[in-house]
Amino acid sequence: MKALQLTKPREFRYLDVPEPGPLKAGEARLRVHRVGVCGSDYAGYLGKMPFYIYPRIPGHELCVEVVAVGAEPGRIRVGDRCSVEPYLNCGRCYACRQGRSNCCEQLKVLGVMTDGGLTEEIVLPVAKLHPAPALTEEQCALVETLCIGAHAVNRGALRPRETALVVGAGPIGLSVITFAQLTGARTIVLDLNPQRLEFVRSKLGISDVILGDEHALERLREATGGTLADVVFDATGSAAAMSKALEFAAFGGRVVFVGITQQELSFPHAPILHRRELTLLGSRNALPGDFTRTIELIASERIDTRPWITHRAAFAEAAERIPAWANPDCQVVKGIITI
């Protein structure tokens, strides 16, 4: 059985791996059909992902088909098309006992801390499978990315008629934009890249866009009548951008960090955080309910997935295509690998 392994930063190799053995109760054997390539995959390739452990088979944005189930069939049956919740939590720690499986103390993310889905077949817990019979295979592989945005918007408790500022219009930022729009809030997007701003304007219907230059704060004040944003979502993963994010928040506002960085953040306490009484939030991964909701929204066409997939490749091409797609000049929104 073939797999694609990232042996170290900037080095892929195809290898043969054993076929899955006998299944335990609660496990399912899965045929992988589509794999979405995520920002964390590019960061792992470039050696910039803080949680990455090498060597590693990447891939956590998966569309799979159930081949076998290791016990009597329940909600998951052979032949089901499923999206995968790739956060393998322990179920015992304090976070898990509080229903916060997304930030389990022992969390292992598929394709980051444990081998992922860039292979022909994989075994996963049945509990991590979300049936998506009405979705295409490519739509199914988009679910996890969109769930990141769903969870972040929930964390920010964004309400109708509030103003959301999304900083960063990469795939994670786009997922936040998608769910911010669904709340009925006014959504403004800020990015350093004019091409990304044009994409959200033309493909996602966002008319309020701001170029992230030295005049960005002034432009946001003008756009909001001086109040700034009720909720700021930073999806950049840039320490510099994240440190500035609080400046864009209104008095009494919330700031949600969706991206991650290995660097320290710094911002003024008294004039910004304290004076404005801001709420600072982290948003990690997503929860099972985010998957159910996202699948339903795609199936009902309330989320239009057509603008998302800009690049495609066969499994045999992945070792060449992923490095190419990691180049910002390639203008990838979402690349999909067919296995």
Per residue in 139-163, pLDDT (tens digit) is 999 999 999 999 999 999 999 999 9
- Over range 206-233, report the average pLDDT: 97
**Residue 87 is inside which H or E element, if any?**
strand 87-88
Give me the helix-helix angle, 318-325 and 39-46, nearest 10°.
Answer: 100
Q: What is the pLDDT of residue 50?
A: 78
How many Cβ atoms are within 10 Å of 233's Cβ, its own excluded? 34
Instruction: Summarize pLDDT for 263-314 with one digit per residue, the tens.
Output: 899 999 999 999 999 999 999 999 999 999 999 999 999 999 999 999 999 9
Q: How far apart are CA 44 and CA 39, in angstroms?
A: 8
For 31-71, how does the pLDDT look when each residue is reduced to its tens digit (9 = 90+)? 999 999 998 899 999 998 878 889 999 999 999 999 999 97
| All structural domains of the chain with their residue ranges | 2-131+308-338, 149-282
- The least confident of 73-77, 128-132, 203-207, 309-313 is 73-77
So what CATH class is 2-131+308-338? alpha beta
What is 149-282's CATH superfamily?
NAD(P)-binding Rossmann-like Domain (3.40.50.720)
pTM across the whole model: 0.95
Q: What is the mean pLDDT of residues 236-253?
A: 96
Cα 135 to Cα 299: distance, rounded to the nearest angstrom: 6
